[in-house]
Structure 1
Amino acid sequence: MAMSAVARETVFALRRQIAKIEGTLPERLQAPAGAVSDAGMAAADRTVVRRGIAVARPDAFLRTGIGRLDAALGGDWGGDLGGGLPKAALSEIHGIETRDAGAVAGFALSLASLILKPSLILKQGPQLPVLWIGTQEVFREAGFPYARGLHAAFGIEPEQLLFSEAPRLADALWVAEEAARMTALAAVILEVRGNPQRLDLTATRRLHARAQSAGRPVFLLRQAAEPEPTAAPVRLIVSPAPAGPRDTVAGPLAGSIGRPAFTISIGKSRTALPGQFILEWNPDERIFDERRIGEERAKNPVPVVSLSRGRTDPAAAPGAVLAFPTVGSPAAGDQPSRQQRAAHLSPRRAG
């Protein structure tokens, strides 16, 4: 017997309500025109419903700028979206060991820099701050981000990063839930340690629902934690990657330390696509660059001005550029050599 129109609309309304709670939209696929057969109108009433992000706003995702990573995280939904981290959602950033806390914090600050970058460039509207919440145990173990280095590395002013130190995890969760519903914050960062029992599926569902309601991202930083069921649609495992040498006009500078690098592994995403990426953070342009695993870094894609006609190619560099060795103090009356000048006038060295 065919389903009545009233009952069918009731079912569709319930499905839309459930999809709204889960943060997805149902897509209704109509039966083909030739579906009506001996079964009468029953075949015509059949509707295939699949869940997924049907229509997303252009600003619904926080794109890292790495196409392969963004597509693996949020999927290529068409248009110029290109996927990425959902902005109005709870996202997990894991550190497998305690010593990875610096890399996890640096990656979270890089994401916060990407969020604040448009407002800093346009200088329009209020400069919303980022709230970082943690317990005394977390801050005692991992410490606080260095305020004077925030601007140099991430373009974040010290007054744009607020801290809330809670004595217990229950207090930190309460502060995070209240802050997640506020639109006066650009993002909320909650840092916890291990796998506490209080941070269960119900607690993460509340954080995810508050983030969806406010349209702001909530980043859950988990230090030395094992993966467990949560309401976060995305889980990234972050660890430090070896930094490459510093790039110069003459090529990589041997013995130097280049940009900070992160190894990113996808533990959970909407597309369920696994992947591992090595990202370098460019503090000057505040963007990510990808370093292919097992391959040399891609060359700078910026086109170079062609040589003038009638001239030969420039001569090669006279020799390899090396880091300056440590030398002793100059003798009295001697002019200090280039190697003996102040440290801030020389390239940074390893060791």
Structure 2
Amino acid sequence: MAMTAVARETVFALRRQIAKIEGTLPERLAAPAGASPAPAGASPGAPDIADITVVRRGLAVATPDAFLRTGIEPLDAALGGGLPKAALSEIHGAETRDAGAVAGFALSLASLILARQPGSPVLWIGTSEIFREAGFPYAGGLQGLFGIAPEQLLFSEAPRLLDALWIAEEAARMTALAAVILEIRGSPRILDLTATRRLHARAQDAGRPVLLLRQAGEAEPTAAPVRLIVSAAPSAGRATIAGPLAGSIGRPAFTVGIGKSRTALPGQFTLEWNPDEHAFEERSAQEERAKDPVAVVSASRRRPHPAPAPGTVLAFPAVGSPALTSPTAGDQPSRHERPAHRRPRRAG
């Protein structure tokens, strides 16, 4: 009995330690009605039923100020309050062509971050291959679309991914930066669970967000508590006084899916970035159907005009059959039907 009590107390101590490391909330399980205390012969150190500690995984113990709110209430609620400020967050693009949408979404988050810390710059880290494939953000459009001055966005181009990871780890611990963005391509072996744990720990120590952008990367186990899947969404027409302008391109739009979160709640949202207000706006499902009427196929009904019958079916000889390889004499044209230029020439 004494050994059992010691083992249980060791398990409870380990659970408390794990809860402290993960930031989860330990709860005490109240004794059910009619439950009796510990038996009389039990060890004095054995906890009774009312003293059992249960670790609840999921929501972390944090204040609302610890999260970067996107301004979209359903998305922030699904994320448990928003993107954590002092943590590593992943933003994935399923294909290489989604690199522009992923970069635009990251710039939108950087705009929200810099609005709260206008005096601190954002460092964007990538390899030479990344910047050759996806390019650099256009400095002239940063101020107009996102309200980011060119001097607020710094770039670091590394020759190798190993160098980019080292720069990201060193930059993540600097409190002078508002945020650190690390962009990679694919699923490199060097970016394993240990590397992401180091980035996550640096972000927690500095109290600054680290955004990991992944081009055409697969979902792998990482230390990031949040993973978002971002792709481009069809833009609506430019809004005018008379209504949407036909044939025009309106605000940038993103399709954001939750691949991993603290609450483990799935969800998919279509967000538009307002370049005037520098804020996100959600597009409802009704608006999606109205902007793309071809996406929804109407149910089949009884129509007065059925589909026309198919035409006449012709049978052609198969390749290699005698009809194609050895024609008969009757298939050849007669002598008077042959063209004049194919008649044999007379000598002399």
Unaligned runs of 5+ in 1: 75-82, 121-126, 299-351
Structure 2 Cα separation of the partners of residues 3 and 283 of structure 1 = 65
In angstroms, what is the RMSD of aligned CA positions?
Answer: 2.5
Task: Kindly report structure 1 stretches of 4+ aligned residues shifted beyond 2 Å.
Answer: 1-49, 51-55, 293-298
| Equivalent residue in structure 2 for 1:57, among 55, 63, 79 | 63
Task: State yes or no: 1:183 paired with 2:175.
Answer: yes
SS at match of 2:106: helix
Q: 1:7 to 1:174 in 2, by over 3 A?
A: same
SS at match of 1:273: coil
Q: 1:214 to 1:26 in 2, by over 3 A?
A: farther
Unaligned runs of 5+ in 2: 41-46, 291-348
Structure 2 Cα separation of the partners of residues 8 and 185 of structure 1 = 45
The answer on whether the counterparts of 1:30 and 1:47 sit within 8 Å (CA) in structure 2 is: no
How many Å apart are 1:273 and its aligned residue?
A: 1.5
How many Å apart are 1:51 and its aligned residue?
A: 2.9
State the match for 2:151 in structure 1: 159
How many Å apart are 1:58 and its aligned residue?
A: 2.4
Q: 1:60 to 1:250 in 2, by over 3 A?
A: same
State the match for 1:216 in structure 2: 208
SS at match of 2:64: coil
Aligned residue identity for 1:259 = R
Q: 1:296 to 1:198 in 2, by over 3 A?
A: closer
| Equivalent residue in structure 1 for 2:273, among 262, 271, 281 | 281
SS at match of 2:89: strand
SS at match of 1:35: coil
The answer on whether the counterparts of 1:90 and 1:217 sit within 8 Å (CA) in structure 2 is: yes
How many Å apart are 1:4 and its aligned residue?
A: 11
| Equivalent residue in structure 2 for 1:148, among 133, 140, 143 | 140
How many Å apart are 1:215 and its aligned residue?
A: 1.0
Q: TM-score, normalised by structure 2?
A: 0.75
1:42-94, Cα deviation, whole Å (9 max, x unpaired): 323433232344532221111111111111112xxxxxxxx111111111101
Aligned residue identity for 2:213 = L
How many Å apart are 1:35 and its aligned residue?
A: 3.1
How many Å apart are 1:239 and its aligned residue?
A: 0.7
Task: State yes or no: 1:115 paired with 2:121.
Answer: no
Q: TM-score, normalised by structure 1?
A: 0.74
Q: 1:25 to 1:211 in 2, by over 3 A?
A: farther
SS at match of 1:259: coil
Alignment of 1:161-310 (within 5 A): 161-295=153-287
Question: Quick check: which one's helix share is greater?
Answer: 2
Structure 2 Cα separation of the partners of residues 19 and 202 of structure 1 = 20
Q: 1:150 to 1:182 in 2, by over 3 A?
A: same
The number of aligned residues is: 284
1:166-188, Cα deviation, whole Å (9 max, x unpaired): 11000000011111111111110
The answer on whether the counterparts of 2:233 and 2:253 sit within 8 Å (CA) in structure 1 is: yes
1:106-148, Cα deviation, whole Å (9 max, x unpaired): 000000101111344xxxxxx0110100001001111111111
The structure whose Rg is larger is 2
SS at match of 2:136: coil
